[in-house]
Chains A and B, each alone.
Chain A
Amino acid sequence: MPIAFSKSDRQQVLVLYLSSSALDSSVIAWANYDGTGRMIHMAGDEDRPPYKSGLSALEDGWRLFQASPLQPHGSGDEFRTSYLKYEFFFEKIVTTGHD
């Protein structure tokens, strides 16, 4: 079902990085972006994660809209570590009352 979106609605985005592909695994890294402009988030501004797990974020009303796929490991590259693997994007739509 499409989400109604009015001119005064803004998107808040929460990015959670989990310890495995399971949505109920623990949060190891996170980021916040607030489209209402009410809160300015930045690197290093919180040392404690906002939620214990991705499931905890769902229980608090965040809507999951993207999850990173599981990729096979390339031959010869099986042991290389790089970017955080288990990235989940959540959103909340907030009515600001102004256009």
Chain B
Amino acid sequence: MTEIKHLTTSQMAQFAARGFLQLDTAIPDALNKQFLDDIGKSSEQPDSIINHYDAIRQSSTIPIVPAGTALRDAYPKGSALAKLLADRFVAGAIDSLVGLDCLFDHHFLHITFPEEMYPDAMRPVRAQNTHQDSTIDPRQAFDVQVFYFPHEVTLAMGGTRFIPGSHFRIVSEASIGRYQNVRGQQHVICPAGTVMFFHMGIWHGGGMNRSDQKRYMFKIRLCPSKRQRRLWDPNASYDKAQRAIFWTGGQQPDPDHLHSILTRPEKWFELDTGRLEYINRIRFWRYLTGDKNFDADYWLTRVENEYTD
């Protein structure tokens, strides 16, 4: 059996800072084809979107799985989804983030239809508003959502839109629909077989499909069954020592230094709350490592420096 490929400490830092990761490798074409066969058949021109979903459901082999099922029991052996999750890079990322003994929450086949497939009453078609999944969730423990793109996603197909670094914002699901566009927003335009991992809190939405082809994306939400401490590497080493800040003698900081990754602003950060996001990331790194004294560029040490008598 091939050994699974855990995430690196640098990848975990990127996930902590930005709330997402895209795997370096794509799922092979043969498996993508098996998945597209497994999801079920539909006519090319169904008379309604509901009929399209019904047709898929009747012939789909995607299992109906109760929430809370152990992930290892969720998919039949030999199915495309079981193979997907057994991929050494996918399994390694899951083990690094939530553990292979994680629990299945739910899965869903998201289909974004071309405008011509919508009934007249539903036009004009609009992109899905930006939202955060589930509901208000202030936990430090975190779920991940695996996004699998079984076919190429072109610019015309719209793609999943998401806001890097938005995962620590505590908001209530669709309440953020007013934010049509955010600086630095990304659209997933990708080759077939792309797999991405998102922190549960990331702000996202489905883009409008302006092509003449249906767009498929399969999402699986996974919950940890234990404390998420150094799951990617029990002996992970990382930058702990503080470095000079602000007055640095004109030297540019190393962009790959952990503190640089955790204190790199997104384009949409507000001047003041951007600093709070650094603190959120530092606290998250403390959670990921169990290192209660960790700090990056002194942001938390400064405000924790208190004396009681």
Query: In the complex, which of the residues A47, A79, A86 contacts B181, with contact meaning CB atoms closer than 8 Å?
Result: A47
Asked if B183 and A29 make an inter-chain contact with CB atoms under 8 angstroms apart, the answer reads: yes
**What residue of chain A has the Cβ atom nearest to residue B207's Cβ?**
A44
Q: Identify which of B158, B181, B205, B208 contacts A49 (C-beta below 8 A).
A: B181
Number of A-B contacts (CB under 8 A): 95
In the complex, are the beta carbons of B270 and A82 less than 8 A apart?
A: no
Which residues of chain B have C-beta atoms less than 8 A from A44's C-beta? 127, 130, 158, 161, 180-181, 185, 187, 205, 207-208
A23 at the interface (CB under 8 A from B): no
Per-position binary interface string of chain B over residues 119-130, scored 1 when its CB falls under 8 Å from any chain A CB and 0 otherwise = 000001011111
| Chain A interface, >50% SS class | loop
Please encode chain B, from 156 to 187, with 1 for each CB lying within 8 Å of some chain A CB and 0 for all others. 00100100000011110001111111110101
On whether A28 and B180 interact (CB within 8 A), knowing A81-B273, A81-B276, A82-B169, the answer reads: no
User: How far is B272's CA from A79's CA once the two chains are assembled, in angstroms?
Assistant: 11
Look across to chain A and name the residue whose beta carbon is closest to the beta carbon of B270: A19
Interface assignment of B70: CB less than 8 Å from any CB of chain A: no
Instruction: Indicate if B228 sits at the interface (CB-CB under 8 A).
Output: no
Binary interface encoding of chain B residues 97-124 relative to chain A, with 1 for a CB under 8 A from any of its CBs, else 0:
0000000000000000000000000001
Please name all residues of chain A whose beta carbon is closer than 8 Å to the beta carbon of B158 when the two chains form the complex.
44
The answer to whether B179 touches A29 (Cβ under 8 A) is yes
Which residues in B have their C-beta under 8 angstroms from that of A99?
none
Judge if A55 is at the interface, Cβ distance under 8 Å: no
A64 within 8 A of B: no
Tell me how far the C-beta of B52 lies from the nearest C-beta in chain A, rounded to whole angstroms.
22
In the assembled complex, 15 residue pairs joining A and B whose CB atoms fall closer than 8 Å, in A order, are A20-B270, A20-B272, A27-B183, A29-B268, A43-B177, A43-B179, A43-B180, A44-B181, A44-B187, A47-B185, A79-B280, A81-B280, A83-B175, A85-B272, A85-B273
